Amino acid sequence: MKVIDTITASKPTLSFEVFPPKTDDKFESVSRAVGEIATLAPDYMSVTYGAGGGTSEYTARIAADLLQKGVVSLAHLTCVSSTRERVFEQLEKLRALGIENILALRGDIPEGLDRTKLSYHYAYELIAEIRDFGGFCIGGACYPECHPESENSAKDIEYLKIKVENGCEFLTTQMFFDNSILYNFLYRLLRAGVDVPVVAGVMPVTNAVQIKRIASISGTPLPQKFLRIVDRYGSNPEALKQAGIAFATEQIIDLYANGINAVHVYSMNNPSVAGKIKENLKGIV
Indicate the residue among 159 and 183 with the shorter CB distance to ligand FAD: 159
Strand partners, 13: 262
- Quote the least distance from Cβ 283 to ligand FAD, whole Å: 27
Q: Are 46 and 14 in contact (CB under 8 A)?
A: no
199 burial via Cβ count (<10 Å: 0-12, 13-18, 19+):
buried
The secondary structure element, H or E, covering residue 67 is helix 56-68
- 229-249 in b/e form (b: 16+ CB < 10 A) is bbeebeeeeeebbebbbebbb
Label residue 57 exposed, middle or buried (CB < 10 Å: 0-12, 13-18, 19+).
middle
Measured CA distances, 241 to 128, 210, 221, 233 (Å): 41, 11, 19, 9
- The residue (of 15 and 240) whose beta carbon lies closer to ligand FAD is 15
Q: Are 144 and 176 in contact (CB under 8 A)?
A: yes
Between residues 7 and 243, which has the closer beta carbon with respect to ligand FAD? 7
What's the distance, Cα to Cα, between the start and end of the chain in Å?
Answer: 19
Q: Which stretch binds ligand FAD (CB under 6 A): 99-107, 219-227, 250-258, 274-282?
A: 99-107
Site track 59-98 with ligand FAD (rule: CB under 6 A), x = hit:
-----------------x-x--------------------
Q: Is 153 in the site for ligand FAD (CB under 6 A)?
A: no
The piece of 63-71, 157-165, 184-192, 270-278 that touches ligand FAD (CB under 6 A) is 157-165
**Per CB under 6 A, 106 contacts ligand FAD:** yes
Residues 6+ away with beta carbon under 8 Å from 78: 49, 51, 52, 53, 105, 106, 107, 126
Which lies closer to ligand FAD via its Cβ, residue 10 or residue 152? 152
Instruction: Return the residues of window 254-273 that contact ligand FAD according to CB under 6 A.
Output: none
Q: Does 185 bind ligand FAD (CB under 6 A)?
A: no
Strand partners, 17: 46, 266
Tell me the window of 21-29, 84-92, 120-128, 243-251 that interacts with ligand FAD (CB under 6 A): 120-128
Residue 34 found at the interface with ligand FAD (CB under 6 A):
no
Closest contact distance (angstroms) between CB of 201 and ligand FAD is: 5
Contact positions vs ligand FAD (CB under 6 A)? 48-49, 51, 76, 78, 103, 105-108, 122-124, 141, 147, 149-150, 155-156, 159, 162-163, 172, 174, 201
